[in-house]
Amino acid sequence: MTHNTEKPINRRQLLAAGAAASGALAASRAFAQDAQGQPLMGDPQLPEAAAQRTGWAVVGLGTFAVGQVMPGFLAASRARMTAFVSGNPDKAAMLGQRYGVERLYSYDNYDQIADADDIECVYIVLPVGLHAEYTIRALEAGKHVLCEKPMASTSTECERMIAAARANDRRLGVAYRIHFEPTNQVAAQHIANGDLGTLRHIRCEHGFPANPQWPPHAWRLQRALAGGGSMFDIGIYGLNTALMAAAGDAVVEVSGLYSYDRSDPRFAEVEGGVDWRLRLASGAIVSGSSSYSYSPYISRQTYIGDKGNITMSPACTYYDNEGVIDTGNGPQPLGAGPAATQFASQLDGFTDAVREGLAHLTPGEMGLRDIALIEAIYASADNGGIPVTV
């Protein structure tokens, strides 16, 4: 049996202990500070109040829209989602409840967005084969449009989209998010500053293994929806980003060769890979490869000048872009911000263009240029790689 050997505390000792504790608390309060509010200092660049932000409709609620576009709106400072357009009412309702979006449209009543004053801009996030139709209808409804890349299936469709924007006095942009991505912006600035000297060669390599069983890949293998093959979908990143870096240097000649297994059933309707080449007015060369058969995913850009070079790998992804510059003292990190900010920056950038009545940083004319170049690359490949003057 265990016995308690401690003596019980009597009433006098208890009162003494309480008095001591009260004294200690009073002493500590003598040194305490009262919580006080402070004025807002500096310029913290606060986002606009929700009611002041420009309202957007998101057209198409697929994987990219849900995974990247919508989080971009949450991080934006001047843009907000006010409507969804989808062929799946249950998904639209679920996402509307999640994001507080009450205006829900189907593709059948899409044109009714013209009556919604809280929709100023429309983001087209549909398969490529639908871009022209839904962009033009939004422009004719009086809305400004940011269209996902590639702009359309053909240069003729691109021209119709641009004409509709002009006829309705609306802004039209193509969602080339890389122009808003921090690491790519830093790389382009180094090139513009002459840190690489005279730019002589740009190399672009982009591809992934297309999986026809996965819905986000399956439509890319259908010509009616995809417009074209790997060059439309993934190779266009290399082409557009290279021309962003070589700003002002016009393309004068293109060539291409198909580089995929023609017996692969995945590529019954679209090309599965192409090696391409651009000759610029300065004499610099841009060369690249695009493929639906590369594994694992590859996204790499190399810029070579007569005084230095930049290598980026990965170069054009959503979250993980990295790069180094070497001007003779060994590779140094480019040192840029997180890649994911590109989505919010793109939305705010287009919003600013709309508010100020200016062309977007990546306007429809840029989208037309790139589709025309891809068409020329395909024309060359169809003729065994014979160069095409543009």
Residues labelled catalytic:
149, 237
Q: Closest by alpha carbon to 309, among 200, 204, 205?
A: 200
Identify the CA nearest to 291 among candidates 371, 229, 241, 230. 230
Alpha carbon distance 315, 222 (integer Å): 27
Contact (Cβ atoms closer than 8 angstroms) between residue 204 and residue 289: yes
Q: How many CB atoms lie within 10 A of CB 317?
A: 17
| Chain centre distance of CA 81 | 16
300 Rama class: left (phi>0) / alpha (psi -120 to 50) / beta:
beta
Distance CA 246, CA 248 (A): 6
The 3-state secondary structure of 202-229 reads EEEEEEEECCCCCHHHHHHHCHHHHCCC
Segment 312-315 long-range contacts (CB within 8 Å, at least 24 positions apart): 312/183, 312/184, 312/187, 315/183, 315/184, 315/237, 315/241
Strand 285-291 with 273-280, pairing = antiparallel
Strand order in the sheet with 79-85: 103-105, 79-85, 54-59, 121-124, 144-148, 172-175
Strands 54-59 and 79-85: parallel
Rg (CA), the chain: 28
In 3D, which of 90, 87, 51, 58 has the Cα closest to residue 72?
58
Place of tokens 């929709």: 119
Region of 370 (left: φ > 0; alpha: ψ -120 to 50; beta: rest) is alpha
Does residue 126 contact residue 226 with C-beta atoms inside 8 Å?
Answer: no
